[in-house]
Amino acid sequence: MDATIFSYITAFLYLAISGFQFRQLSLHTDAQSKNIALLSVIPILSHGWLLHESIDTAMGQNLSMFNMFSMVFWIIAILIIISSTQRKLGTLVVTVLPMAALSIVMTNLWGDQNLIDASSIGYLSHSLFSIAALSLISLAAIQSVYVNNLDKKLRSFTASSDSSMPSLQDMEQFLYVLIWSGFALLSVSILTAINLYMPGDMPASTTDNGSTMPLHKPILSVASWLVFAIFLIGRTIKGWRGKTATRWTMAGFILLFLAYFGTRAALEVFLGK
């Protein structure tokens, strides 16, 4: 089957599952979470195959911006589907799966090449830890918005009491698991990046000639790490939550997103480099 057709079929399946979950929520039930997980196996496996075909080329690993964007949402989709079998995360399923579908379509329409020889174990490890950290922190940012909205509803007594409504405690607990996990992976990512600044260690790239790593990336990554470190200390000592948690989480996410996609978007999309 043609990869383009396969891409659109996978995107359609994501959207169909999201629509089914939305209907369940509108009926005030989240009892179909395990069925949602089973249905999601096919598009998730298809998405993984598409990423393999797009990234692992004969000339090297194509780590273009849209490929990385698609991989991040593939990982997020996996995390959400697995977690939804244990927690009431139907709203996250409705939000994340369309984003995963969009990432597939964007890769298919505007995918470019950023070929890198990732034979260096150090660089490959750094890339994997970075993508995993960004995925968890992106999911934490989405989750923090839902936690803040639920907290507001409970404070104003407007939250419904239907069976599909998750408890605020469960939502917050899941949020802090995501933040701690993302923070740990980001720490490892920064540590593995140190040796990439040493001469001769940076693998060759068709876009930046493999000479040096862009300076904005480590600066913004470290800034994001500091934001999450301060928030986690504040959470432990002063019990920061609600709107405060959302602001710190979103600030850290934006910094990390800009670190990975800010300059690459300018170069690959707007300047065509």
Residue 228 vs residue 259, higher pLDDT: 228
Query: Which residue has tokens 């009892």?
Result: 31
Q: What angle do CA 107, 11, 136 make, to 5 degrees?
A: 70
Q: pLDDT tens for residues 35-86? A: 888 999 999 999 999 999 888 877 777 878 888 899 999 999 999 999 888 8
In angstroms, the Cα distances linking 215 to 1, 81, 117, 136 are: 42, 36, 20, 23
Judged by phi (left if over 0) then psi (alpha if -120 to 50, else beta), residue 28 lies in left
Kindly report the average pLDDT of the chain as a whole number.
Answer: 82
Query: Which residue has tokens 């969009």?
Result: 102
- Segment 114-133 shows an average pLDDT of 76
Q: Residue 61: beta bridge partners? A: 56, 116
- Report whether pLDDT(266) > 70: no
Its pTM stands at: 0.82
pLDDT for the residue numbered 264:
61
Phi then psi dihedrals of residue 61, to 5 deg: -90, 125
SS3 115: strand
- Report whether pLDDT(169) > 90: no
Kindly state the percentage of the chain with pLDDT values over 90: 42
